[in-house]
Amino acid sequence: MRVLEDREPKKVFQFFEEIAAIPHGSYHTKEISDYCVDFAKKRELEVYQDAYNNVIIIKEATAGYEEAEPIIIQGHLDMVCEKESDCDIDFEKEGLRLYVDGDFLKARGTTLGGDDGIAIAYALALLDAEDIPHPRLECVFTVDEEVGMLGAEKIDLSMLKGHQMLNIDSDEEGYFLTGCAGGVTAECVLPVSYDDAEGVSYTLKLSGLQGGHSGSEIDKERANAVVEMGRILKKAEDSIDMGIVSLQGGLKDNAIPREVISEVLIMEEQKKDFEQLLQEMNETLQKEYAASDKGIELTFCCNGEKQAKILGYRAQTGVLFFLRNMPNGIQHMSMDVPGLPETSLNAGIMKLEEERFLVSFSIRSSVASRKENLMERLEYLMGFLGGEVTFSGNYPAWEYKRDSKIRPLAADVYRELYGKEPVIEAIHAGLECGLLSQKIPDLDCVSFGPDNFDIHTPQERLSISSTERVWKFILEFLKRAK
């Protein structure tokens, strides 16, 4: 028996469970792309698959809707693959381990992939049905959205006839999004060298942070493990003769890092002072983040005497200077929309390797010039330190469309179905609507979705009841879209 056998809407959850069984992290979307193509061919639907694994499936209008404006249904095939440190899943080979906890669907020890698997499940359920009235449906499934919207940048939409789009990539029911920030990924690299050394080895681990989506959670004042480990190591270097052996943390540039591990060497006679400093830093962090990251903890383990390669003086100075001076977090709040972050960046991945030190950022802004300003700041900082920065996945902001037809219809349908006033707003997180709007003149779109909490973290959970309500909303919207 399937985990979601008796959950409504049955077809939606059937397809979600099938999707979850297929590995589909960013850059690994061939299998799920082929699954969608096979789905379409079995039903004799018009289907397109490109070299990047993007898929487009088209289903003609049902009787009575032949003259209606086609509706584009859009979501992305890839998911963010985050897991707990004790989870042994191999995201490239294994599916997710789904389970139900009350009203929530979860995955054991990992992200759920509700972002954006639920969009694909909704679309497949629509395409599969024979009893749902609808205009011509043009379902667009993009890849590698989570790593810079790479699929949306490359996709060919010339076969589409529609100019109205439902983007199902939002995570709060009753919120209809009409604009979002643009973004870019910045990879900062500093060359490093090592010296042979001998001393007492310590492993430091900063963990228990809440993490979260670097767009929707960046304003929650949550701790960034990369930033705080840089603070800890610089504090130690100021008073202890310390050399860095290893340093690594964070998995995705668009997820606030929850854990960092470092190994250092110190002198035997400084063990007591070093351990006291670490205990004090642990207490400081727990006090500072008592509200946002109550589980934060700095732990350490003495490994005894050891010979190892440590960062050379200049390399360590450069690494710590960068970690202590790099911009991170919210840089500007919107003056037009109260409470909305306008410009931010997130240090999401940190790796110390044999010849280089890398930190990868997700930069977001609804103002193009301020996004460019952050890019220039990182270039200047890395140039000063003798490193370099490369940019990828640069995507535009999605601008508000004042004369939208789809937005008021969506609001009316939701209001009449559920007796609640929908919220119409722009967000700081990135959506593919901006890129796709550049490919389709006068694209009129709205973004929405069911309640899906703590996305990009292993605590991700999708509301089953909300998923059903949004499904009923989609059906009613299509029914009225004549």
Give every CB contact of residue 217 below 8 A, 6+ residues apart in sequence.
211, 256
Active-site pick, 18, 82, 115, 145? 145
Q: How far apart are CA 242 and CA 229, in angstroms?
A: 14
Tokens of 423: 């919220």
**Global pTM value:** 0.79
Q: Is 303 helix (H, G, I), strand (E, B) or coil?
A: strand
| Catalytic status, residue 297 | no
pLDDT digits (tens, 9 = 90+) for 19-60: 999 999 999 999 999 999 999 999 999 999 999 999 999 999
| pLDDT on residue 243 | 98
| pLDDT on residue 354 | 96
| Catalytic status, residue 476 | no
**Alpha helices by DSSP H, 307-431:** 313-325, 368-385, 406-418
Whether pLDDT at 402 is above 90: no
Largest pairwise CA distance in the chain: 84
Domains located in the chain, CATH noted = 10-181+397-480 (3.40.630.10), 184-395 (3.30.70.360)
| pLDDT on residue 482 | 86
DSSP H or E run through 262: strand 260-266
Active-site pick, 18, 78, 169, 253? 78
pLDDT digits (tens, 9 = 90+) for 50-71: 999 999 999 999 999 999 999 9
Instruction: Of 451, 466, 475, give the one whose Cα is nearest residue 8.
Output: 466
Q: What percent of the chain has pLDDT over 70?
A: 100
